Amino acid sequence: MTFLLYFVLPVLLLALGIPIYVILLLTAVIGIAATPDLPLSALQTVIFGSLDSFPLLAVPLFVLAGDIMGQGGLAKRMIAWAMSLIGGIRGSLALTTIASAELFGAMSGSAVGCVAAIGRLLFPSLRDGGYGQTFAVGIIASSGAIAVIIPPSIPMIIYGISAQQSVPALFLAGVFPGLLIGLLASIYVLVHAKLKLVPLTSKARWQNILESTKDASWSLGAPAVILGGIYGGVFTPTEAAGVSVVYAALVSRYIYREVSWNDLWKITQSSMYLVAQLMVIVAAAGAYSWLITTSGFPQRLVAFIEGLHMSTWVMLLAFNALLLVVGSFLEPPAAILILTPLFLPVVQAAGIDPIHFGIIMTVNLAIGMFTPPFGLNLFAAHALFRVPLPQIYRGVLPFIGVYLIALLLITFIPAISLAPLALLKN
């Protein structure tokens, strides 16, 4: 009965197209009503308690900072700087896309924001520069996922809150996995460019590099301020998110002068709608997670899995398979809030480091953001570039393969995630 209520019912409602927050709230209400010892009045306490979290404040602030950077000129100059460094290599425009995603991710942590900011600037050049529309939309949709892996990452913040793990430690553990994915994707695009004989771009020149570096210096200062402040002990991730908003607003308004105060207000309003959607999901998922935890189901799940006598690597493969499927249907925040209370007791009982598992979960759900048929980045690319969805699906398939190779390496070589933490301790 518990399994039918907590898992079969939500899946059926999801198949009917009901919004995820309604599904979670409805399941929580039915579960509380069906449990004699749980008063319905507990629901409001749990819902508001889910939002009463200081680290959670970082989420709306990083969303706003990313939107300001995307529209205020910071992202544009950052891309121009990356292009000046990589010019003259066959495949340089595709490499610039990946490098820009790494840099934008280090400023905002928003995958859809990354697709929008980078795509608007690079999609026409990629499409008309010998790569073709299918490849262009594929690399942009997939590169956006890097932004949720490279710190600061919104899904990592939510995982840290849900699993009660250190957010700065998660950020540090995400650096090498994010760079590894960028490296493997770069190798693929270089091979693709050579096989397809993509035209060469103009060679990198010192004068252009110096000029673009000077022009982008304030853009490149954003990740230095955010991550330097966190690991320098100057401020917490939440305070860093607030600093990034102020930094982006002042640079966009007074240094690059590409937005007015009225424009900043409109950007804030636009971000507010996305943040509201996220917070509603967080509140509903908090009620659902609390119900599952109080039911004792996680403990029974641990006992069941232990009874299967699975080795750790088989268990990790099973988790990866499940997370990939879930990630193609649910947004990362919702998936993390729903699954973390279930998976974490199993993970800890198996001796898997919770920080390492947080990176595994984040990478899986990042891949889900551009996995057909419902990955959020796919719909963002479709709306931005008016490319048919079947063509977008074909474009991302090679990159799904690249990301899966990276996922296997990250899963079964924990040092990729944990080595920076060990160095920091020493």
Tens digits of residue pLDDT in 4-31:
666 677 778 777 878 777 888 888 888 8
Quick one: what percent of the chain has pLDDT higher than 90? 23
Could you give the CA distance from residue 48 to residue 45 in angstroms, rounded to a whole number? Answer: 6
Residue range 240-265: average pLDDT?
Answer: 90
Residue range 339-347: average pLDDT?
Answer: 85
pLDDT number for residue 2: 63
pLDDT number for residue 3: 62
Per-residue pLDDT of 150-177, as tens digits, reads 888 888 988 998 898 998 899 999 999 9
65, 107 contact by CB (below 8 A): yes
Neighbours of 340 (CB within 10 A): 25
pLDDT number for residue 124: 85
Where are the chain's structural domains?
A: 42-425
Confidence band for 208, pLDDT divided at 50, 70 and 90: confident
**Average pLDDT over all residues of the chain:** 83
Per-residue pLDDT of 358-386, as tens digits, reads 999 999 999 988 988 777 788 788 878 88
Q: Which of 27-41, 60-74, 382-396 has the highest mean pLDDT?
A: 382-396
DSSP 199: P
Per-residue pLDDT of 187-196, as tens digits, reads 999 999 888 8
| pLDDT exceeds 60 at position 73 | yes
For 249, how many CA atoms within 13 A lie in the half-sphere containing its CB?
18
pLDDT number for residue 426: 57
For 73, how many CA atoms within 13 A lie in the half-sphere containing its CB?
19
